[in-house]
Amino acid sequence: MRETKDEHLHYILSETKKHNADNISRTKAYQNFYMQYPEMKWALLASMVSRNAGWNMTDLHLSPFRKILSTKQRNRLFMTYERANWLIFSDAYPQLLTYALSIHYNQPLFHLLSRFRVSRFMKKEWDYFWKHSDRNRLMTALIINEQNVIHSPVIKQDYFQYRIFMRLPYLLQDMLLLNAVLLPDRFGRLYGAFVHDFTNINKRIDMGKRIASIVFHPAVYDSLLDFVLTREHTGSRRDYEQFFHSPFEKAPFLRSVYPVITHQDIIRKDWHKIRGVKRKWTNPISAKPDSGIKKSFYNRRKLLYAYSHLKGVFTPDST
Distance (Å, whole) CA 82 – CA 136: 27
pLDDT of res. 308: 80
Q: Count of H helices and E strands in the chain?
A: 15, 2
- Residue 317 near residue 73, CB atoms below 8 Å: yes
Contacts of 205 (CB under 8 A, 6+ apart): 143, 144, 147, 281
pLDDT of res. 196: 83
- Residue 54 near residue 23, CB atoms below 8 Å: yes
- The HSE-up count of residue 9 (CA atoms within 13 Å, CB side) is 10
pLDDT of res. 317: 45
CB-neighbour burial class of residue 58 (10 A; exposed 0-12, middle 13-18, buried 19+): buried
DSSP annotation string for 160-201: HIIIIITSHHHHHHHHTT--EEEEE-TTS-EEEEE---TT-H
Q: What is the pLDDT of residues 155-205, one digit of tens each?
A: 766 666 656 665 656 665 655 556 899 999 999 999 999 988 888 899 999
pLDDT of res. 304: 83
pTM for this structure? Answer: 0.92
pLDDT of res. 314: 46
Distance (Å, whole) CA 115 – CA 106: 21
Q: What is the pLDDT of residues 142-167, one digit of tens each?
A: 999 999 999 887 876 666 665 666 56
Contacts of 224 (CB under 8 A, 6+ apart): 48, 183, 184, 185, 191, 215
Nearest to 200 by CA among 164, 159, 165: 165
Distance (Å, whole) CA 30 – CA 54: 14
Convert 93-134 into a string of H (helix), E (strand) and C (coil): HHHHHHHHHHHHHCCCCHHHHHHHCCCHHHHHHHHHHHHHCC
Write out the chain's pLDDT in tens, 319 residues.
Answer: 456 788 999 999 999 999 999 999 999 999 999 999 999 999 999 999 999 999 999 999 999 889 888 898 889 889 989 999 999 999 999 999 999 999 999 999 999 999 999 999 999 999 999 999 999 999 999 999 999 999 887 876 666 665 666 565 666 565 555 689 999 999 999 999 998 888 889 999 999 999 999 999 999 999 999 999 999 999 999 999 999 999 999 999 999 999 999 998 776 789 999 899 999 999 999 888 988 999 999 988 888 888 787 744 445 444 4
Q: Could you tell me the maximum CA-CA distance found in the chain, to the nearest angstrom?
A: 67
